Amino acid sequence: MVSDLAIGIDIGGTGIKGALVDLGSGGLAGERVKLATPPGGRPRDILRTTGALLEAITPPGAGNLPLGICFPTIVKRGRTMSAANVSDEWIGLPAEAMFEEALEREIHFVNDADAAGYAELRFGAAVDAEGLSILTTLGTGIGSAFIYDGVVVPNTELGHLEVDGAQAEKRAAYSAMKREGLGWAEWAARLQRFYRAVEFLFSPDLFIVGGGVSKHHAEFLPLLDLGTPIVPAAHRNDAGILGAASLAATF
């Protein structure tokens, strides 16, 4: 049974953000709150900060609303199987059960890019898209989600593809642009190499670009020369929140 309202929390390498979500409109139904991800991204610190965020965004009397949490690691059967932008202590942990114990409620736990992909599938750029759509989130790292004929295929990790002798996200994530002081054209040249490699390997029908930097899409998307259409995500940096909440209400 699908609830009209749900809560979504998106845990990232630099920030943890969440909000109440209206699943009918596909928009936020309350204030979006963001807290800094604790330095080092260790489990006990992230669990504590997530609890504080949940308390801040939950309306009075709404403690039983579906709650979805998305996380920047491979997620298999509730366990975190990687740790690119959080502490290595997460690798192999029963994270879903740990969050449920810490928050004292059931949750739906999912990879962050997959949550963003589901949001774009339900409410955004992938609605009615045929074939293979590939969402990439450009932020601290590069997340990815495959959407094939309306189904999200979980746990793709395109940010870890080797391009020009390095993991793609080390050179082409938005954090690399900021860290190295790159201009839009310089950064777009790196994105070009990344998207060309993905295009060659998977022959997608559509690229969707998410993450906070997608609000500046006019600065860099026109600089890319690809055979595949490439568009900004409709929900940008809120997609993880929307997708996590929507999945929690659905399953």
Q: Residues 185-207: pLDDT tens digits?
A: 999 999 999 999 999 999 999 99
Q: Tell me how long the chain is.
A: 251
The token duo for 41 is: 């991204």
Domain ranges of the chain: 5-114+239-250, 128-233
Q: Is the fold of 5-114+239-250 the same as that of 128-233?
A: yes
pLDDT of 49 reads 98
User: In sequence order, what E strands does 105-240 have?
Assistant: 108-111, 132-138, 142-148, 151-153, 162-163, 166-167, 206-210, 230-232
For the cut 80, the answer to whether the pLDDT of residue 29 exceeds it is: yes
Mutual angle of helices 43-57 and 95-103, in 10-degree steps: 50
- pTM, two decimals, is 0.91
pLDDT of 140 reads 86
For the cut 80, the answer to whether the pLDDT of residue 83 exceeds it is: yes
Buried b (16+ CB within 10 A) or exposed e, 108-137: bbbbbbbbbbbbbbbbbbbeebeebbbbbb
For the cut 70, the answer to whether the pLDDT of residue 111 exceeds it is: yes
pLDDT of 69 reads 98
Cα 51 from Cα 125, distance rounded (Å): 31
Average pLDDT over residues 61-75: 92
For the cut 80, the answer to whether the pLDDT of residue 19 exceeds it is: yes
Taking the domain 128-233, which CATH number applies? Answer: 3.30.420.40
Average pLDDT over residues 13-26: 93
pLDDT of 2 reads 47
Average pLDDT over residues 78-101: 94
Residues 203-251: pLDDT tens digits? Answer: 999 999 998 899 999 999 999 999 999 999 998 889 999 999 999 998 7
Residues 154-180: pLDDT tens digits? Answer: 999 999 999 999 999 999 999 999 999
User: For tokens 């746990």, what's the residue?
Assistant: 155
pLDDT of 3 reads 55
Q: How many helices (H) and strands (E) does the chain have?
A: 8, 15
CB 108 within 8 A of CB 137: no
Pick the CATH number of 5-114+239-250 from 3.30.360.10, 3.30.420.40, 1.10.10.10, 3.40.50.1970: 3.30.420.40
